[in-house]
């Protein structure tokens, strides 16, 4: 009898905790995305992004203010480096110049931004390419993290296509 009673208490307590944590999740969903990730993947024509040229992951990271923790993100510009170049395609390969295995394809949106919250295995390093129109440009060195605008526009040129 005593065992049954404590089992009932245990179940009641466990359900209460579960309900509370669900409530907490849905609150975060509406409020800020800092405590739980959300799926955000750019697509050609999309326009919900912002802050072109900034390092997206200064906010879109675990504990940051941005909605969704990006594994790779950045901005593509035109050749004058002033206007965004829309709807480019970013690819990440295991080898240079489009060789090896294609690990990830990300379509940039209408604002020139590309981003994804999907897991990316950078392994010992991945080589980015960016395509727009008939042009494809390859980064000749490999990266182990996807904060493209952490370098481009800071320590090297912005990413650009024609
Ligand atoms: C200074 C912090 C900060 C930076 C830098 C930042 N973001 Fe955000 N982002 C936010 C916040 C806060 C939100 C949620 C509120 C909002 O939509 O403004 C958000 C929301 C978003 C959304 C969701 C919009 C929606 O309605 O689904 C996308 C997409 C996005 N950001 C993309 C980007 C991209 C791409 C970059 C880099 C080029 C970037 N952000 C840089 C703070 C930032
Ligand atoms: C650690 C700093 C750093 C990061 C992170 C980085 N890049 Fe680069 N990128 C460079 C440097 C430096 C160059 C020029 C030398 C080279 O090609 O390796 C370059 C070159 C490039 C080029 C060739 C540019 C041209 O005009 O031919 C492309 C395209 C490119 N990067 C895309 C990307 C993309 C997309 C990302 C994110 C997925 C990224 N880069 C992340 C530093 C970085």
Nearest 10 degrees: CA dihedral of 37, 40, 41, 44?
Answer: -170
Give residue 19's pLDDT: 43
Give residue 106's pLDDT: 98
Residue among 155, 151, 162 nearest 74 (CA): 151
Which ligand 2 atom sits nearest the alpha carbon of residue 129?
A: 29
135 contacts 129 by C-beta, under 8 angstroms: no
- Ligand 1 centroid–CA 86 distance in Å is 17
Give residue 35's pLDDT: 73
The CA distance from 85 to 119, in Å, is 25
Name all residues whose Cβ lies below 6 A of ligand 1: 40, 48-52, 54, 56, 58-60, 65-67, 73, 75, 113, 115
Q: Which ligand is nearest to the CA of 68?
A: 1
- Ligand 1 centroid–CA 127 distance in Å is 25
Which ligand 2 atom sits nearest the alpha carbon of residue 126?
A: 38
The CA distance from 75 to 132, in Å, is 13
Which ligand 2 atom sits nearest the alpha carbon of residue 76?
A: 35
Phi, psi of 71 (to 5 degrees): -95, -25
The CA distance from 22 to 127, in Å, is 40
Tokens of 116: 């994804």
Neighbours of 60 (CB within 10 A): 24
Give residue 3's pLDDT: 54
Give residue 90's pLDDT: 98
The CA distance from 59 to 53, in Å, is 13
Give residue 148's pLDDT: 98
Q: Print pLDDT tens along the chain (162 aa).
A: 455 655 555 555 555 444 444 433 433 344 444 578 999 999 999 999 999 999 999 999 999 999 999 999 999 999 999 999 999 999 999 999 999 999 999 999 999 999 999 999 999 999 999 999 999 999 999 999 999 999 999 999 999 998
């Amino acid at each position: 009898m005593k065992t049954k009673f404590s089992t009932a208490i245990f179940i009641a307590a466990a359900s209460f905790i579960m309900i509370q944590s669900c409530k907490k999740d849905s609150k975060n969903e509406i409020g800020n995305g800092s405590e739980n990730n959300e799926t955000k993947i750019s697509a050609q024509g999309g326009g919900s992004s912002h802050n072109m040229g900034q390092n997206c992951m200064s906010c879109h990271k675990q504990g940051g203010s941005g909605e969704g923790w990006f594994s790779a993100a950045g901005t593509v510009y035109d050749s004058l480096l002033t206007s965004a170049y829309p709807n480019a395609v970013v690819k990440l390969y295991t080898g240079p110049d489009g060789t090896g295995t294609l690990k990830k394809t990300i379509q940039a949106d209408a604002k020139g931004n590309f981003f994804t919250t999907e897991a990316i295995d950078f392994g010992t390093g991945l080589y980015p390419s960016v395509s727009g129109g008939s042009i494809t440009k390859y980064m000749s060195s490999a990266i182990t993290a996807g904060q493209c605008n952490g370098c481009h526009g800071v320590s090297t040129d912005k990413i650009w296509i024609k």
